[in-house]
Amino acid sequence: MTGSDGMPRLDEERFEELPTFDLRFLLDDGKRPSSVTLYDPDSLETAWITVDMEAAMSLDDLR
């Protein structure tokens, strides 16, 4: 779908239901973590996200 200016338009109906993800996490140190790694335990792919705790932001702060 495109608008009168030729730019693609988002199909708002697609965004009525947000996707969910069943992710797990691991900490580098259980007592004083400096990074957290998120991963999908059901995926056969090797994919993960590691975040430095000092650079991370709370999701509540982003809303």
pLDDT digits (tens, 9 = 90+) for 54-63: 777 777 776 6
CB of 25 within 8 A of CB of 37? yes
CB of 18 within 8 A of CB of 31? no
- Among 16, 21, 56, which Cα is nearest to 36's? 56
Q: Give the residue extent of every domain in the chain.
A: 19-55
Q: How confident is the model at residue 16 (pLDDT cuts 50, 70, 90)?
A: confident
- How confident is the model at residue 54, as a pLDDT? 79
- How confident is the model at residue 61, as a pLDDT? 79
For residue 2, give the DSSP letter.
B
What is the pTM assigned to this prediction? 0.48
Mean pLDDT, the chain, rounded, equals 76
Q: How far is 60 from 47, CA to CA, in rounded Å?
A: 25
